Structure 1
Amino acid sequence: MEFLEIGGSESLRSYWKMYLPKVLLLVFVVDSADHARLPVAKQLLHQLIQNNSTLPVVVLANKQDLKGAYCITDIHDALALSDIGDERKMFLIGTHVAEDGSEISSSMKDAKELIAQLVLETHLDRILALAEPKKAACESDPSLDRILALAEPKKAACESDPRNQETIWTLSGGTMTAQPSSRTLAPAKHRKDFGKHQRRSVIWESTICGCVPLRKDFSFLSDRLLKLSEPKKCPPAYLLQRPRESPEWPVSPAALSYDPSPRILKLARPKKLHPEFQPPRELPIPVSHLATLARISMRLERLAEPCARRLPCCCNRSFPDSVICPVSKSAQEAIASPRTIELARPRKLHLGYVPPRDPQWPVTTAAKHAVATPRLVKLAQPRSR
């Protein structure tokens, strides 16, 4: 790591902004015992970091061992470090150095470790930021997204049929990197959404010369249009003579204006659960202390295993509905003799065996070399409908 130390006098402050864009960490040292210069230090610190919102800052409040020096809380308030922001890494450490320099305090060791860690983290963040692919200049343009959406092919009605496939044409490199013109961007923008109170209708009057628009604007719907747009109600005669399967039933004006009594309101309320009501639950079976500490013996583990039973019956696989015939125990444990094994093998086909085939009719030599006459060729053609 390389450290660059620049003094704080007025003649050297002009060099601060020259090296600030290249640094990974800013270490700002203030004198805790010099109360008069803290406002100046506050102003200079805020001017340095106002253009770089991600630069880590470490403020060292030096000379903490002197009498009358501000504590960490006072330094924090004097420099207004709470106004810097939460996005930036900011640390405030109180330090002091012995006059002879023979002993290094623990605060200086902590500051050294913190500075090394912050420099390493900032360096890694910059490497990762440079390694990320750069976004195109037109990637953030919302009108380009609209153009790409309009450029996609429309879905056909027979898209699900794999047999109906159209040829996919590749796009050239110039087409992929082309920049849309202002004329292309204007139609690609979304149309303005006129709401309920923003519609403007124009009535066209047909004349001899052509269509001339009349200056009649309708920004709001009239009461007449609203009344005509409401659905028609059923006449009272239909409501009285309609079939009983109809789900709508007329309600009398007395029922609509009826005022329920307190008794009816009380009965309409759902009943509350009793304070002593308990939902049904399973009865717990008490387990003794000896049962919880007991260990299973080998005999119990063997008895707990499922018994492997042999099926004493069999059935013909080719006929699942056939009767299951029981098989005796001696038949299940019988050992087949060599003669039985030999008879159980399938027989081989004879060497002179010929499989069945379609009959072949001999064709004479004269039939093979015969030439069809025009009459036969005409009769051999299918009839035209």
Structure 2
Amino acid sequence: MTIQKTAHGYFRITLEMQSVPRRELGKQYMEAVLIAEPEFPALVDNLLREQFAVLQRAGATPDFPMAVARAAVLGPRLAGEYQEEIEGMLDALAALPGHATPSAASNAATLGDGRLSRDEFWVWQLFADVVRPTQCSASAAFGASSATGKTILGRNLDWDALPSNDASRLHAVTILNNGPDSVCLFNFLGSLIPVSGFNASRLFLGSLDAETGAPYPTDLGSMFSYLFELRSGLEHSRTLEDLAAQVQSKPYPFNHLVFAADEKQAIVLEEFIGSPGRGVRTTTSLLRDGVAWDIPDTLATVNDFRLPHAKAPIDDADALRWDSFRHLYASRLARGPLHLDDLKRIAGYSGTDGTTLGSGALYRSDGFPSIQSIVLRMDTLETWVAFTPAGKGPIPIDPVYVQVFEASPF
């Protein structure tokens, strides 16, 4: 196991998944995390405090006790090996005075005390399943629109702008070495889920929020964590079709999107949970009334549903970013098939002011800044990422991409 803090502001992590039992693996991982970043507990504790304060000011749910209650139901429904990893991490945290204590943070008043209780840590692990703070976008060129003939993609992770910007001290690229089930996760320190990720079979996925206005389920007894199911899908799928089938086989609490790709194409899994159902959007799919995508061998997604059965309104930020994608792809393809640098310019498009509502920015420095922007060649797995820098200063308007992998890390 290795954890290295790079000069580019992210942690590069490698875990050997077959070396020890999963609980011991989780314990060793968290022990290494606490050496690499001794302030990890305080950073996550403060991030949660600020996130729930933002929700409270907006009059939005959940509050912290509600998130704890949700995590308490979803956690035991994770695959046993994932639960073991998390319990192992808690074992390591318990060696710190006042950390990993039972139910110590079920009251939101304890947020911000610099320590991580069991409740806080489980909310951190299941963040996207119990809280809804992210935006995101993604796109790809493939086939005749790609200079390589293979898929080249860009994917932006957008998150609420929080005062301390703690997430930017936790950027992580995590390789789980496990033979044919090996995966690479783009996520945050102390987390083993793929906010974005790819596997040794050259399959990529990234999750995106997509609201419909539907209430959060009152009964979670049959629900699953969608990000842990995405990890399972990456670990066990060898084809894009297998990945889509596995991801769309379970019920989840939140409606969401999954942008997925292989070397030949990209798709969007529109996870509209419940009626009228789910769908797979491709470059040739029929779209809902008033929505157009007429650029062959390309695909894009923002934070809404575009297939015909979707009825939720499209908000202005989504409409503006969709229009930016259409314009950027059409104008660049007029000069010829797209290269990796073209995808950097598309994913990194910041408009005139870095804001979506002001200038249709895809790479955002507004209230939902793009904290990780990934550009990737699926044939070689050459990977470039722009990570937001740590600190409380303004988020840079223009991304600075650094090469994370020259070729496959497996």
Q: What TM-score, normalized by structure 1, do the two folds share?
A: 0.18
Q: Larger % of strand: which? A: 2
Radius of gyration: which is bigger? 1
Q: What TM-score, normalized by structure 2, do the two folds share?
A: 0.17
